[in-house]
Amino acid sequence: MEEDVPSLHEWAGGTPAFEKLCDAFYRLVVVDDLLAPLFATMAADHARYVALWLAEVFGGPAAYTQERGGYGPMVARHLGKAITEPQRRRWVNLMMDAADEVGLPEDPEFRAAFASYIEWGTRLAKENSAPDANPVREAPVPRWGWGVAPPYLP
């Protein structure tokens, strides 16, 4: 039965798994020649908030929305950053490396869903960070599942 299928959040190991993932990821970011400058002014709690975002996206509690306000404030944090394609790709690669490092599930179904969101999310962040971007600022936090999420139409 479909209600017996765990969320990606549950399958990954819950919010603590995403906290470990983001701690490992940002350890890689701060020493990366391409990404370190982009995150030079990163707040001390940045990794925690990204972990809460990912946990919520993958079916966990709405802690990011409760603490940070949801989609709109997340988009606002990317405005004007002018993320380049090489930076986006490096972000994806380091996130996948961190997933391996912390032992996120390796089954193809989980990794395909995880990689799908990471690809989609980084492409959206890159678009939203362009100097002339006018992104949608009010939308629900995406909820990623085992399949492909439908597009959000305002």
Predicted confidence at residue 5, as pLDDT, reads 85
Q: Is residue 137 part of a domain?
A: no
Cβ burial 82-106 (10 Å sphere, 16+ → b, else e): ebeeebbebbbebbbebbeebebee
C-alpha to C-alpha distance for 89 and 123, rounded to whole angstroms: 9
Q: Is residue 134 part of a domain?
A: no
Question: How many domains is the chain partitioned into structurally?
Answer: 1
Helix axes 85-102, 108-129, angle to 10 degrees: 150
Tell me the average pLDDT of the chain: 93
> pLDDT tens digits, residue range 30-75?
999 999 999 999 899 999 999 999 999 999 999 999 999 999 999 9
CB atoms within 10 A of CB 154: 6
Predicted confidence at residue 1, as pLDDT, reads 45
Q: What is the CATH number of the domain that holds 71?
A: 1.10.490.10
Global confidence as pTM: 0.92
Tell me the pLDDT band of 4, cut-offs 50, 70 and 90.
Answer: confident
Domain range spanning residue 108? 9-129
Q: Is residue 141 part of a domain?
A: no
Q: Is residue 64 part of a domain?
A: yes
C-alpha to C-alpha distance for 85 and 37, rounded to whole angstroms: 15
